Structure 1
Amino acid sequence: MSAGGEIEVGPATEDDLRRTAALHVAELPHGLFPRLGEGFVRRWHRAHLESEYGVVLVARRGGDVVGFLLGTTDRPANVAWILGRRRRELMTAGLRALLTRPALALGFVRTRGPRYARRLLGRAAVPARVASRGDVPEAGFGPIAVLEAIVVAPEARGASAGTALSEEFLSIVAAAGGDRVELITKAGARGAAGFYERAGWRRVGSHVDRDGDEVHTYRIDPRFVRTR
């Protein structure tokens, strides 16, 4: 699909991943994975590209990638797929990155170590929702789709690339039979709450994440979103 005759959105290819990883680290540095560096993020994006439950979209202008979206049509199934097929690769890449980042490694051990260890060893159940803590209400929906990241390069902002990416993702989820999409965004100026609220997303909860920041959880039913 296109936005204003300039932005075209479609599935990412392997050749796009170096650019999507660079954008992710530079423009959305929140959380652990971006701080592990572009090499790790590129592997994370590739795992989504290869998974039948993963979605990686790119926005192009003049042939250049100026934005991307990372998501999944079924979060628990996608996490299980990645752990079943890419666990060793991601664990090795993550450990290598931590060894060259002592301060990050210390914070990882303190805030995330036990949980990640249990998951990588296959001893932890995959959470059923985006937020592991907080007041997000549950309901009798089907599999939970998650918009994990959406990034637009500074030079392409204002051209509706973010809107085109999110609408295409919601169309993919709806076509897959999904009836709920969730996301988490930072509260305040560091997040994108205004963007999602204008697009019809509903805030359903808030909590403090493992980095000590307040974050909001948003939800939308993709079946009732009108796309261009």
Structure 2
Amino acid sequence: MRFMDPQHLPYVVREHRRLFPDGFFARLGPGFLSSYTGLYLTSPHALAFIAESEGRPVGFLVGVTDPVLHRRHTLRRHGGKLLTHAICGLAVRPGLLLHFLRTRLPRYYRKLTRRQPPSSPPSPTPPTPGPGAVLAHVAVADEASSRGIGADLIERFVAAATIAGCGRVSLVTADSPQGAGPYYERRGWHLVGRTATPEGRQLLTYERLLDTPSWPPGWTRANTPGAPTVR
């Protein structure tokens, strides 16, 4: 297990498109997905791990430790590049373009133009400390399943999020027999809500509260406060 390098992007993009083919970003094509996934390697508010066996990748995980700051970083530093890849992907996929105009464009516009609400008096109940981390995607190759690789990737992300000062971690999984809900429930995650994608796919949101830092074996603090390294 180690941090993901740019050399791993072709594998991650290929596996992402294979395992999550219905995702909107995956349907935009490998060019957009490679550019988008690469943000997890460069953003100071994101983490990307790779699992290897005999020198080749067999699993990966990407997530963010502060979604608001990660989104801001993405728009300011890489927004133009992502937009170019998205336009190219939509231009050669007219059906997807029409779907985007009908379902996603209004939502994205509302997010980008949303005004910040006026400040309110402090709540007498203290909020959950720290930002909420989000585990975006985790996947393990079929030939490496049932070896605890997925659980190890998740625990490393949880540990890193804890050290980064996050108070909780959340994720979404499909609300279907193929979803991973029971897997997460067995590992202490709690169902906190249900949502739906613009395409109508039903999703379950799970959350795990974090407490004191707990480093996986072989980990230590790096020179940058809050950043984990693998020895």
Q: Report the TM-score when normalising by structure 1.
A: 0.84
Aligned equivalent of 1:147: 135
Aligned equivalent of 2:156: 168
Helix, strand or coil at the partner of 1:196: helix
Distance 1:155 1:124, change over 3 A: farther
1:91-134 CA-partner distances (Å, limit 9, x unpaired): 11011011111111111111101233455xx53469xxxxxxxx
The answer to whether the 8 Å contact 1:182/1:217 transfers is yes
Aligned equivalent of 1:103: 95
The answer to whether the 8 Å contact 2:4/2:41 transfers is yes
Paired with 2:212 and 2:110, the residues of 1 have a C-alpha distance of 38
Aligned equivalent of 1:212: 200
> May I ask how many residue pairs the two structures share in their alignment?
206
Give, as a single letter, the amino acid of the residue that structure 2 aligns with 1:161: I
- Is 1:191 the counterpart of 2:179? The answer is yes
Give, as a single letter, the amino acid of the residue that structure 2 aligns with 1:213: R
Structure 2 segments unaligned to the other structure (5+ residues): 117-125, 218-231
Aligned equivalent of 2:76: 84
Task: Give 1:31 deviation, angstroms.
Answer: 2.3
Kindly report which structure 2 residues correspond to 1:110-129, keeping only aligned pairs within 5 A, or say none.
110-117=102-109, 122-124=112-114
Task: Give 1:163 deviation, angstroms.
Answer: 0.5
Helix, strand or coil at the partner of 2:177: helix
Paired with 1:79 and 1:146, the residues of 2 have a C-alpha distance of 12
Q: Report the TM-score when normalising by structure 2.
A: 0.83
Give, as a single letter, the amino acid of the residue that structure 2 aligns with 1:104: L
Helix, strand or coil at the partner of 2:211: helix
Which moves more between the two structures, 23-32 or 217-226?
217-226
Paired with 2:115 and 2:203, the residues of 1 have a C-alpha distance of 23
Paired with 1:78 and 1:190, the residues of 2 have a C-alpha distance of 30
Aligned equivalent of 2:119: none
Aligned equivalent of 1:134: none
Give, as a single letter, the amino acid of the residue that structure 2 aligns with 1:86: H
Distance 1:102 1:14, change over 3 A: same
Paired with 1:125 and 1:65, the residues of 2 have a C-alpha distance of 43
The answer to whether the 8 Å contact 1:28/1:151 transfers is no
Give, as a single letter, the amino acid of the residue that structure 1 aligns with 2:176: G
Kindly report which structure 2 residues correspond to 1:171-182, keeping only aligned pairs within 5 A, or say none.
171-182=159-170
Give, as a single letter, the amino acid of the residue that structure 2 aligns with 1:123: T
1:139-174 CA-partner distances (Å, limit 9, x unpaired): 822211100111111111111111011000001001
Q: Which runs of at least 4 in structure 1 moved beyond 4 Å after TM superposition? A: 224-228
Helix, strand or coil at the partner of 1:147: strand
- Is 1:159 the counterpart of 2:151? The answer is no
Paired with 2:132 and 2:68, the residues of 1 have a C-alpha distance of 8
Give, as a single letter, the amino acid of the residue that structure 2 aligns with 1:24: H
Task: Give 1:189 deviation, angstroms.
Answer: 2.5
Q: RMSD in angstroms over aligned alpha carbons?
A: 1.9
Task: Give 1:28 deviation, angstroms.
Answer: 1.9
- Is 1:47 the counterpart of 2:48? The answer is no
1:194-220 CA-partner distances (Å, limit 9, x unpaired): 221111110001122211111111000
